[in-house]
Amino acid sequence: MKTILDHTKLHQKYFEEMTQIPHGSYHEEAISNYLVAFAKAQGLRYIQDDMFNVIIYKEASSGYEDHEPLVLQAHMDMVCEKNKDSVHDFEKDPLSLRIVDGWLMANHTTLGADDGCGVAYMLAILSDDTLKHPRLECIFTVQEEVGLCGALHLKKDQFDATRMINLDDESGYATCTTSAGGMNVLLDKEIIRIQEKMDGYRLSIKGLAGGHSGAEIDKERGNANKLLVRILYGIMQHFGLQLAQLKGGLMDNAIPREASALWISDGNSEKIEAYVKAMAADIKKELEFSDAGVQVILEKTQIDSYVSVEESEAILKLMMLLPDGLRHHSMSIEGLSTASSNVGVVHMDDKMLHINCSLRGALESYIDEFAAQIDTLAELFGFTTRHVARYPAWSYDANSQMRETMKEICKELTGKDLGIMATHGGLECGVFKSLKPEMDIVTLGPVMKDIHTPKEALQLSSFDDTYAFLTAFIQRL
């Protein structure tokens, strides 16, 4: 492997090693086994559970035996997003890395800095016998990006500490104090295909910015699934339409950047083309500041099978009405989203249509309301629903000694005040707080941008600086 990072810096070395091991959500076995091999090589006690979560324990360094133990925590899975023309296979291929103006990126795919940086920090700390620290319980979880499933599988008797540093953050010299809860609603509808070759159309939406469905939901970026259906619904109303294929989005917690549909229509092709062109102009105008690169592409193609007029109407009407985007924002914390939904993934196969909606809320009642709305729509249009991967919110703790100590270290190192933040993203902190209500939790991580998109980038100077901050913080504890 040709390396591009500085392997004299342990956190950079371990991060680059992880980019060579596929580790998307639900496919963490290889990276989990890598962590186990690391623990064995270091002579450290470990646990690997049946979901492939790993906990590695390290006893306190000399002089720190009487200090309270500390949990370090990060998730090992990454969001697997790529550009449509990329041939990268996330289940087999290592990532291809490049550095652009001090930012580490992958070629045409997500980078996995969320949360490979946290994992790399923990491995660097565990392998550094010169670092002073209390007893460490390093928890590496799976399936965080698809509902915090790994964290929800943990048992509270697997760790003793009531102090924790969550390393799933993208803010540099800042810490998060609260995060949203969430749940996924899966919608399914059985379809019956008419097997007949026909002249038809392909409609594609491309070039959207996308992004994290928690962090970027307030930016009103276009959702490719919803935009696609909006145009198809209009075509259905004006010219008639029968669906053959519907596909959009790769992850429930990423705002969909691309979507496409195959369909047939008896309408006049010139009028259909003119309608799509007019709709495209409207959409480009609406998104000129959030998604300037949006493309709406109409092509003629051959269709092998399609569904009935009635089923097409039910699918498009449901998707037109599905709640999507920001619903509520905080009245007390400026810029904080407090309730949203993301129509993240749509897929139509030979027999079924599947839709995955990600719901987020600072209050449980917000999530319940969204779910009830979607259940009602599903019933009206012949869909079934399942509620999965529910996870708790992390509420603000006004009396965090960990946060006060972190403020002191930040001031000493930088001369500046620690940034205090709240997020609409879902963090595993809420799960740990539910396991141990007395747990005092802070978050920390290097500066990143455009996570959950192929433009994801890690600022290498911040990667180094934040590690220095983290180790100084741990030594103070």
Written in H, E and C, the secondary structure of the chain is CCCCCCCCCHHHHHHHHHHCCCCECCCCHHHHHHHHHHHHHHCCCEEECCCCCEEEEECCCCCCCCCCCEEEEEECCECCCECCCCCCCCCCCCCCEEEECCEEEECCECCCHHHHHHHHHHHHHHCCCCCCCCCEEEEEECCHHHCCHHHHCCCHHHCCCCEEEECCCCCECEEECCEEEEEEEEEEEECCCEEEEEEEEEEEEECCCCCECCCCHHHCCCCHHHHHHHHHHHHHHHHCCEEEEEEECCCCCECCCCEEEEEECCCCHHHHHHHHHHHHHHHHHHCCCCCCCCEEEEEEEEEEEECCHHHHHHHHHHHHHCCCEEEEECCCCCCCEEEEEEEEEEEECCCEEEEEEEEEECCHHHHHHHHHHHHHHHHHCCCEEEEEEEECCECCCCCCHHHHHHHHHHHHHHCCCCEEECCCCECCHHHHHHHCCCCEEEECECCEECCCCCCCEEEHHHHHHHHHHHHHHHHHC
Does the annotation mark 85 as catalytic?
no
Q: Are 424 and 338 in contact (CB under 8 A)?
A: yes
Does the annotation mark 77 as catalytic?
yes
Which residue out of 28, 137, 144, 324 is catalytically annotated?
A: 144
Which residue out of 17, 28, 77, 450 is catalytically annotated?
A: 77
β-bridge mates for residue 297, sequence order: 204
CA 93 to chain centre: 20
Active site residue ranges? 77, 144
